[in-house]
Amino acid sequence: PEGPEQRVIFGSSGHRGASLKTSFNEAHIIAISQAIAEYRKKAGVTGPLYLGSDTHALSGPAKKTAIEVLVANGVHVRVDSRDDFVPTPVVSQAILTHNRAADGTQRFEGEGLADGIVVTPSHNPPTDGGFKYDPVTGGPAPAETTNAIAARANELLGDFKSIKRVPYEEAIKSEYVEGFDFREHYVDDLENVIDFDVIRNSGVRLGIDPLGGASVNYWPLINEKYGLNIGVVRPEVDPTWRFMTIDHDGKIRMDPSSPYAMKGLVDELNAGAWDKYDLVGGTDPDADRHGIVCPNWGVMNPNHYIAVCVEYLFGGNRPGWPEGAAVGKTLVSSSLIDRVAASINAKVIEVPVGFKWFVDPLFSGEVAFGGEESSGMSF
């Protein structure tokens, strides 16, 4: 491909594009998968690669192509044993638990470390596809990693002679592909980070709208295992997303932080569904961002509840944070967060747009909380 729009470009989180615009097609997936296989070999990543995907129409075919290339390169791939969709946080958790040492610390060097790929364009329109790489940290790959992968992938786009690939029917039956119960592994681990007793005893009735995304089959299991009161508001999965209301620019976009995209959910709640719920949340197709809907209010501005979280977490309610640990925010997030942090004497560190900029500071302890205006948070 000669045109810049046809090249592999890793943005804030992975390579994204549309097949009809020749910016996301089989050639891109072949080249990126080969580049990742070569990169992880040079980086000494010898453990399994956890492979997830969302509900976009292009994600399924892209996942199969990736398996063909990865297996041909001798990469051990772990796929969902139920052949189900796998959200981004679930792949991250699988990587982190695999790479955890016996003493509970995270390993970033050594033999047998795992990494992963998630096939998703996030909240982008139904016509789009996406492909992102998660290194041994379990989080989004840093710029130096994605730049190296993209550069090699673009070299391969011009010359497929270096590509290794086997037919899917052969690859999926090979010793290099192993089924993994992502859902059970993730849900079982949640009790180690969430106090479900508090939620259960509060009696709060929660509603979740997966927005037709990869988290749809996780909520019923969470509800059953932990005895909560969670209802899935709109459980349908439709790769056309015809049930969504259009976003501010006239496109279908599964953005749980957008009041335009969430209007259909809000209308359904206001028409009577609020009788079942006290609070409703939404997740995007790969479930790495969220939205909150309240009665008589609608969709909350992410900047507002990030500020509330900062005040609660660092204002004395949750002691024990590392000394000097800062609050992380993206450059385009509201200054309201700065003001709240200043009021409780918390340091603020700003990073460029993209959650990948929070990964290293979170692991090092430089940042104890990272939040971005597009409804992604971690602490």
pLDDT tier for residue 2 given thresholds of 50, 70 and 90: low
pTM, entire model: 0.93
- Kindly tell me if the per-residue pLDDT of 229 is higher than 80: yes
Taking a C-beta distance cutoff of 8 angstroms, is the pair 210, 291 a contact?
no
pLDDT digits (tens, 9 = 90+) for 295-351: 988 999 988 988 998 999 888 888 888 888 888 888 888 888 999 989 988 888 898
Integer Rg of the chain from CA: 21
Catalytic, 364? Answer no
Catalytic one of 13, 23, 122, 215:
122
The CATH code for residues 4-186 is: 3.40.120.10
Q: Residue range 364-370: average pLDDT?
A: 87
Which segments of the chain belong to CATH 3.40.120.10?
Answer: 4-186, 194-300, 304-378
Instruction: Considering the domain delimited by 194-300, tell me its CATH architecture.
Output: 3-Layer(aba) Sandwich (3.40)
The pLDDT, as a whole number, for residue 183 is 98
Q: Which fold is adopted by the domain 304-378?
A: Alpha-D-Glucose-1,6-Bisphosphate; Chain A, domain 3 (3.40.120)
Containing H/E element for 98?
helix 88-98
The pLDDT, as a whole number, for residue 1 is 60
**Phi, psi (deg, nearest 5) at residue 112:** 80, 10
Q: Residue range 82-105: average pLDDT?
A: 96
- Kindly tell me if the per-residue pLDDT of 137 is higher than 80: yes
The pLDDT, as a whole number, for residue 314 is 87
Taking a C-beta distance cutoff of 8 angstroms, is the pair 307, 342 a contact?
no
pLDDT digits (tens, 9 = 90+) for 202-217: 999 999 999 999 999 9
DSSP secondary structure letter of residue 101: -
pLDDT digits (tens, 9 = 90+) for 9-31: 998 779 999 999 999 999 999 99
pLDDT digits (tens, 9 = 90+) for 147-174: 999 999 999 998 889 999 999 999 999 9
